[in-house]
Amino acid sequence: MVRRTGRPHRHIEFASYAWLLKGIFRTEAGWMDLHDGNLRFATPQKVVFDVPRAEVTQITFPWYYFGGGVKLHAAGEAYRVSFVLPNGAEYAEARGMAAVGDLAALSIVAAKAHDIGAGRAVGRRWRELLSGAAQA
């Protein structure tokens, strides 16, 4: 099948929102997918990696990510990926509302709890899918 752009259609086995963890406080929002035997991470601006699963090594799901993230090497480069919406994305809004006594701030906290659960579920699925990839 060919899309209108002329590029071949990709068979996507699984995909999810994901964030590259950069340093202690920086993240880069993107999309991670497993397609046609390749693992790809892309942001709206660029493709960070798009490599065959055989080139995905040193896959670990550290306990301190609580199942919501992975560390891996793609084509020899190290990456840390979170599947949970990073703190700070909702922080400024919730802090401002809480400062004026707005009870809606509680809904943001509840939404964050939901994000954690959803991110952990996505992490479990990635663990299943990547367990067959080359591990070091």
| Rg of the chain on CA atoms, in Å | 17
Tens of pLDDT along 74-101? Answer: 999 999 999 988 765 433 344 444 444 5
CATH number (3.40.50.2000, 1.20.1250.20, 3.40.1180.10, 2.30.29.30) of 12-85+122-130 reads 2.30.29.30
Backbone angles phi, psi at 75, to 5 degrees: 55, 40
pTM, two decimal places = 0.72
Q: What is the dihedral of CA 86, 90, 96, 101, to 10 degrees?
A: -110
Among 33, 66, 63, 60, CA closest to 135 = 60
> 3-class SS at 42?
strand
Domain boundaries, the chain: 12-85+122-130
Tens of pLDDT along 22-77? Answer: 888 888 888 999 999 999 999 888 999 999 999 999 999 999 988 899 999 999 99
